[in-house]
Amino acid sequence: MQDESGFFVKRESYDNFRFIFENNCSCDAGPMMSALKEVVNDNDIAFDIGANIGITSMWMSKISKQVYAFEPEAKNLSRLKHNIHINGIENVRIIEKAVTFESATVCLNLYESYGHHSLSTSHLSTPKGRVSVDAVSLSDFCRAEDINKIDLIKIDVEGFEYEVLLGAEELLATNSIKFIVFEHSPALLRKQGRDMSQVIDLLFKYGYTIYRLNHEQINRVDVARLGQEDLYAVARSH
């Protein structure tokens, strides 16, 4: 299938075709990509954390010189590689690892939906098993790759966004990450027993300004009214 960005995406029988046809977009990141197409562009380096089958990675490839796509699950990796290949994309480097607060071997919990695999043992989706995968922190990865600045990061890791950002505190403290897009899922966070403001408080700590996709700025008191949605944060120096 050709998606709304013009890329071809290999589809499987277990994909959510109802969502695709009812919403006229290739995945649940479609509204985010549409809303931010005029906000984020001309990036040197972009990270797609939780790259899944590569739809956001391919979108990033059009607006970035170099994309690093992090995905640890084998079937998703196979589809990610295939989608990058059939579209002739050459500026996406696939990193076969999860991202969390430390570099280690971790347990990835597999769920019924291929978009719900998570380091968390608790999810709204039905569990299907678990596998051991390699993980890396963003600070360790950037140090090893000599990356000093990231223009754009998308984080969709099914409730583990906070741990991803904990592993990037060195970068956050110096505002070396310009633009961060992340999923906010109240139902999932409640299921996991998490504080709804955990991620937002960490970003506020380092001086980031946070917006909804309609570009409405939010404060901590606004968290209670947020639904299932993507938010984006902008470094204070930009």
Does the global pTM surpass 0.85?
Answer: yes
Residue 6 has pLDDT above 90, yes or no: no
Residue-level pLDDT at 2: 74
Residue 125 has pLDDT above 90, yes or no: no
**pLDDT band at residue 205 under the 50/70/90 scheme:** very high
Residue-level pLDDT at 17: 63
Least reliable range by pLDDT among 22-26, 97-101, 153-157: 22-26
DSSP states of the chain as a string?
Answer: -B-TTS-B----TTS-HHHHHHHTSSSTTHHHHHHHTTTS-SEEEEEEES-TTSHHHHHHHHHEEEEEEE---HHHHHHHHHHHHHTT--SEEEE-SEE-SS-EEEEEEEESSTT--BSSS--SSPEEEEEEEEEE-HHHHHHHHT---EEEEEE--TT-HHHHHHTTHHHHHTT-EEEEEEEE-HHHHHHTT--TTHHHHHHHHTT-EEEETT--EE-GGGGGG--SEEEEEE-TT-
Residue-level pLDDT at 19: 63
**Between 127 and 82, residue with greater pLDDT:** 82
Q: Span 72-94, mean pLDDT?
A: 96
Q: Span 129-147, mean pLDDT?
A: 97
Residue 124 has pLDDT above 70, yes or no: yes
Q: Across all residues in the chain, what is the average pLDDT?
A: 91
**pLDDT band at residue 88 under the 50/70/90 scheme:** very high
**Domain ranges across the chain:** 29-234
Neighbours of 154 (CB within 10 A): 27
Residue 237 has pLDDT above 80, yes or no: no
pLDDT tens per residue across span 8-31 = 787 777 777 676 666 676 677 778
76's CB contacts (< 8 A; 6+ apart) are 51, 52, 53, 114, 117
- Provide the CA 68 distance to its chain's centre, in angstroms: 11
Which of 20-24, 124-128, 150-154, 155-159 shows the highest mean pLDDT? 150-154
Q: How far apart are CA 32 and CA 30, in angstroms?
A: 5
* CB contact at 8 A, 212 and 183: no
134's CB contacts (< 8 A; 6+ apart) are 72, 96, 97, 98, 105, 106
Give the CATH number of domain 29-234: 3.40.50.150
Q: Span 87-111, mean pLDDT?
A: 96
